[in-house]
Copies of this chain bind each other. A is one copy, B any other.
Amino acid sequence: METNRYQTGLARLNELDPHAAEHLKESFKSVCPELADFIIAFPFGEVLSRDGLDYQTRELATISALTAMGHCQPQLASHIKGALHIGCQPQQIVEVILQMAVYAGFPAAINGMTVAKSVFEELGIQTGEAQ
């Protein structure tokens, strides 16, 4: 795999989570190491690193899609954490997930919000009322 795309992707992924690349490589090493390489080189190295849309909006777009598709909860949790890490406000994430009730239905929005709640609790973030 040529150096450039991979290095660009690695840098882009590191902005979301400096441990993600290592975790990805470790996860798939014994079954399909190319999957981690592909994720770094194509999504992060060629798509998410493009100009034309800022990274925060790209992450909100990803959170929208993952909430709407409904069957990608581990990825949704990772991208919520990553979005926070690059400066998305927790309230923006909540708004995007809530909005999915309109386009993908309430169950998708409820399940997405449950993922967000769990990430926020882990990070000590509160977007609603004080407990």
Contacts and interface: CB of A to CB of B under 8 A. Distances in A.
A7 interface: no
A72 B108 contact: yes
Q: For the complex, would chain A's binding face be called helix, strand, loop or mixed by DSSP majority?
A: helix
A87 interface: no
A35 B113 contact: yes
Interface in A16-49: 27-35, 38-39, 42-43, 46-48
Interface string A93-128: 011111111111111111101101100110000111
Nearest to A93: B53
Given A27-B114, A38-B98, 8 more contacts: A27-B117, A30-B131, A35-B110, A53-B91, A57-B96, A58-B95, A104-B105, A105-B108
